Structure 1
C-alpha cells in the first residue's frame, strides 16, 4: 500500500486537531489528546508541528485561506439570495471535506468562551450582514449552525454526496426572510 503524501498527512492532522480545538478550546486541548486524535505518538505529532501553538496556528492559517477563497468568490455578487446560496455551496463543500477546520472557524459563533475575531468579520462580509440587522444575524448564525451540524452528521454517516443538496437547502431556508412570521 502506498504511503500518503506529506500534505495529505498534514491535512488530516490539521483537520482533526482543529476539531479538538473547536470542541474543547485551545487551553483545554492537550498535545496527548491531539496526538491520539491523529493516530500519532506525541513525538510523532511534534515532528510535524513543534508545538501545540504551531499546530493551532497552522490550522487557523489553512482555515483563513479557505475563508478568503470563499469571500473572493462571493464578493463580486450583490447581496441577496444568489450570493447567500453560492456562499452556502462553497462552505458546505469545505465542511464536508474538512469538518474540523470549519468547526474551528465557526467556534467564535458557537462557543461560550470564544471572543469575536476575524471569523466574525468574515461571516459578516460573506453574508453581507449589517450589524444593526438582528434578524439577519440570527438567520446567518442559524444557517451556519445547521451547516456545521448537518455536515458533521453527513460525514459520520458517510452520506456526503446525498446530503449536500439537503444541507444547502436547509441552510438556505434558514436565511430566507419571511415577513410577518416573526414576532418581536
Structure 2
C-alpha cells in the first residue's frame, strides 16, 4: 500500500513538473516554481528528486515510458485506420490522466530546441510515418497539437469522460480517416 501511494505521489510530481517544463522550458523553470506546483517546499521536493536536472530527466523518462507502453500495446496491430484509432485512444487516455507528461512529450512538435531524433523515431513508430510522406507528417503534427490542447481543455473543464470520444474522433478525422470504420 505504501509503495503504491509513493508511486502515485511521484507520478503527480512528475506530471506537474512536466507541465512546467513543457510550458517554460528547462532553463526558465525554477526549483521554487516546481516545488510550488507540486505543493511541497523546495526541501521536500529535493527529498523526492535531488536536483532540478534529476526531476527533468525523470519527467522525460516517465513520458517516454508511457509512450513506449502505447507502442507496445499497438505493435501487433497492422498499419491502418484501426491501429491509428487505437494509438489515439491510448494517447488520449494518457493525456487525460497525465496532461503534463503529454505536454512535455509533445513539446518537440512546437519547440525546435526540444526536438530530438528519439522523439521523431517514437512518433514514426506510433503513427507509421514514412519520412518522405509530408502529408502524413503534417497530419500527425496537427493531431498531436490538437490532442494536447483538447486534453488540457477537458482537464480544465473537469469533463474528461464526455470529451474523450470527441477528442479521439476529432484526431482520427484529422489523420484523414473520416468515415473509416473504427
TM-score (norm 2): 0.92
SS in structure 2 at match of 1:142: helix
Contact 1:35 1:41 in 2 (8 A): yes
1:33 is aligned to 33
Q: Segments of 4+ in structure 1 off by > 6 A?
A: none
1:95 is aligned to 95
Q: Which has the higher helix share?
A: 2
SS in structure 2 at match of 1:50: coil
Contact 1:108 1:117 in 2 (8 A): no
User: Residue by residue, what CA displacement relative to the aligned partner does 1:18-53 show, whole Å, maximum 9, x if unpaired?
Assistant: 000111111111101101111111111101101011
User: In the alignment, is residue 22 of structure 1 matched against residue 22 of structure 2?
Assistant: yes
In 1, the alpha carbon distance for the partners of 2:53 and 2:132 equals: 35
TM-score (norm 1): 0.91
User: In the alignment, is residue 115 of structure 1 matched against residue 106 of structure 2?
Assistant: no
1:58 is aligned to 58
Q: Unaligned 5+ residue runs, structure 1?
A: 179-184
Contact 2:17 2:100 in 1 (8 A): yes
SS in structure 2 at match of 1:5: helix
Give RMSD over aligned pairs. Answer: 1.4
Q: What are the equivalent positions in structure 2 for 1:120-135 lying under 5 Å apart?
A: 120-135=120-135
Q: What are the equivalent positions in structure 2 for 1:1-184 lying under 5 Å apart?
A: 5-176=5-176
SS in structure 1 at match of 2:158: coil
Q: CA deviation at 1:177?
A: 5.9
Q: CA deviation at 1:113?
A: 2.8
SS in structure 2 at match of 1:103: helix
In 1, the alpha carbon distance for the partners of 2:10 and 2:88 equals: 26
Q: Unaligned 5+ residue runs, structure 2?
A: none
In 1, the alpha carbon distance for the partners of 2:116 and 2:177 equals: 25
SS in structure 2 at match of 1:7: helix
